């Protein structure tokens, strides 16, 4: 039996695992992106209390390794009688990481829109919200998009850490097959190929898009 | 109090994994970066392909391939060595990309001036372009290195006795997981905050030095 015949046998389970990985990625972006925007606004709030809470959430999310955060939530919290399923722990921890990192990207993009834009908006009688919605927001969105796409790829890879809290995603499926057949090398390389086949072209696309967007405003 | 000592005794291993991987990365980046800026399109494409594939595979899968995959019937490495090699391979790919940015940021005129002075292309690259490239790549490399220190926690999944691994062992023995994992979290938080501060200082220093 050649490696490829073997891979055909492994593929269905690994693709099921890939589905779980992709679902986890999607949910983390769905929760993490609005979270990041809220944190970005919170960190630049004039109210000191909100600013400090925002800063703490961002620093914890960025300063702690995702794996530590994940294991803290899953293994640590039950001591305080907060018992979360593996799936919920993974979503919570990875969404937190997503929110913390993307909040910095949002903040950077909002700050890089020239000041004159918001001054012009208020000069035409727009309120703060309208100015953000119609003037600052759209320009910032254009700037932030490439780094959000890059981060999505990173989170897709980071979902592999959910293996350590027994979520049956791609890495877990591969490891399980390995431990049953002792064909670790073959199945793990196949898992690696699956990750790379998704992540590498995506990274390539993001780079090209980034080059296009980084041209100055027309 | 015992837990603190037990978990933090993993710090040397955490640092060893990080520094070892950085060393492999620093050596491995050079050939990759040189191929990456080659004038021959095909060579460049091969380098890009290699870098993208290496970076496309998550660190945990790299460690599993080396530790469980190669370990089963090719070469058996200890968890510590497997972690250093795995993270080292990833570092080489990231560093190559960072160095490429540095090389491209060096003005063409520098190489032309070297050629005009009769300096060979090799010496022009090694003595004139590379030092300037490394200097401008340093902030990005520093950021990556901090990230790598955090990623070294992944070595716990194959049993390298670093901080997070010891936190897990401690949690199993003391039945106070909140404390054990909290100590590990505290360690990483302190290191990240210090590193972020140091990077800002370094960045400001270089900006002043350049201008």
Question: ipTM for the complex?
Answer: 0.90
| Residue linked to tokens 């592999």 | A160
pLDDT at B210: 59
**Beta-carbon separation of B53 and A188 below 8 A:** no
Q: Which of B168, B181, B192 to mutate to test the interface with A (most CBs of A within 10 A)?
A: B181
Q: Token pair 């391979």 is at which residue?
A: B89
Residue of A nearest to B52 (CA): A200
Asked whether residue B1 carries a pLDDT value surpassing 60, the answer given is no
**Confidence (pLDDT) at A217:** 54
Contacts A77 to B, Cβ<8 Å = 178
How many Cβ pairs within 8 Å bridge chains A and B?
A: 132
> How far apart (Å, rounded) are the C-alpha atoms in residues B10 and B149?
13
Amino acid B209: pLDDT = 65
Residue with tokens 């040189």: B34
Distance from C-alpha of B183 to C-alpha of A63, rounded to nearest angstrom: 14
Q: In this predicted model, what pLDDT tens digit does every residue of A53-68 receive, in sequence order? A: 999 999 999 999 999 9
Give the DSSP letter string of A140-201.
HHHHHHHHHHHHHHHHHHHGGGGGGGT--SHHHHHHHHHHHHS-HHHHHHHHHHHHHHHHHH
Residues A207 and B172: their CA atoms lie apart, in Å, by 45
pLDDT in tens, A4-55: 888 999 999 999 999 999 999 999 999 999 999 999 999 988 899 999 999 9
Q: Confidence band (pLDDT; 50, 70, 90) for B163?
A: very high
**Is a pLDDT exceeding 50 seen at residue A218?**
no
Answer yes or no: are the C-beta atoms of B87 and B77 closer than 8 Å: no
Task: Please identify which residue in the block is written with the tokens 């837990």.
Answer: B3
């Amino acid at each position: 039996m050649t490696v490829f015949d073997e891979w055909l046998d492994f593929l269905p389970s690994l693709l099921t695992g890939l589905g779980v990985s992709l679902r986890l990625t999607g949910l983390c972006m769905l929760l993490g992106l609005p979270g990041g925007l809220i944190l970005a606004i919170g960190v630049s709030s004039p109210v000191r209390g909100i600013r400090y809470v925002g800063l703490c959430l961002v620093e914890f999310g960025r300063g702690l390794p995702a794996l530590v955060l994940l294991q803290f939530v899953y293994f640590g919290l039950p001591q305080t009688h907060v018992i979360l399923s593996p799936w919920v722990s993974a979503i919570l921890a990875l969404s937190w990481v997503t929110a913390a990192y993307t909040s910095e990207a949002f903040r950077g993009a909002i700050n890089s829109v020239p000041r004159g834009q918001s001054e012009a908006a208020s000069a035409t009688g727009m309120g703060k919200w309208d100015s953000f919605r119609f003037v600052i927001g759209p320009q910032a969105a254009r700037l932030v998009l490439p780094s959000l796409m890059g981060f999505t790829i990173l989170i897709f890879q980071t979902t592999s850490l959910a293996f350590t809290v027994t979520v049956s995603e791609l890495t877990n499926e591969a490891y399980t097959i390995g431990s049953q057949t002792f064909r670790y090398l073959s199945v793990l390389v196949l898992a690696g190929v699956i990750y790379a086949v998704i992540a590498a072209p995506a990274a390539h696309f993001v780079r090209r898009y980034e080059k296009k967007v980084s041209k100055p405003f027309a | 109090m015992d837990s603190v000592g037990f978990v933090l005794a993993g710090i040397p291993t955490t640092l060893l994994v990080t520094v070892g991987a950085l060393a492999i990365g620093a050596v491995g980046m050079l050939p990759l970066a040189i191929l990456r800026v080659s004038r021959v399109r095909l060579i460049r494409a091969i380098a890009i392909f290699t870098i993208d594939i290496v970076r496309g595979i998550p660190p945990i899968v790299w460690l599993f391939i080396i530790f469980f995959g190669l370990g089963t019937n090719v070469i058996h490495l200890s968890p510590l060595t497997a972690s250093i090699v795995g993270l080292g391979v990833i570092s080489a790919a990231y560093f190559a990309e960072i160095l490429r940015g540095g090389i491209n940021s060096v003005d063409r005129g520098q190489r032309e001036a070297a050629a005009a002075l009769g300096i060979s292309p090799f010496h022009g690259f090694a003595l004139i372009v590379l030092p300037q490239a490394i200097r401008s790549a340093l902030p990005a490399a520093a950021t990556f290195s901090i990230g790598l220190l955090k990623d070294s926690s992944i070595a716990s999944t194959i049993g390298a006795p670093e901080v997070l691994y010891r936190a897990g062992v401690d949690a199993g023995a003391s039945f106070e997981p909140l404390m054990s994992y909290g100590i590990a979290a505290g360690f990483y938080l302190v290191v990240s905050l210090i590193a972020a501060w140091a990077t800002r200082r370094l960045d400001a220093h270089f900006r002043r030095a350049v201008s």
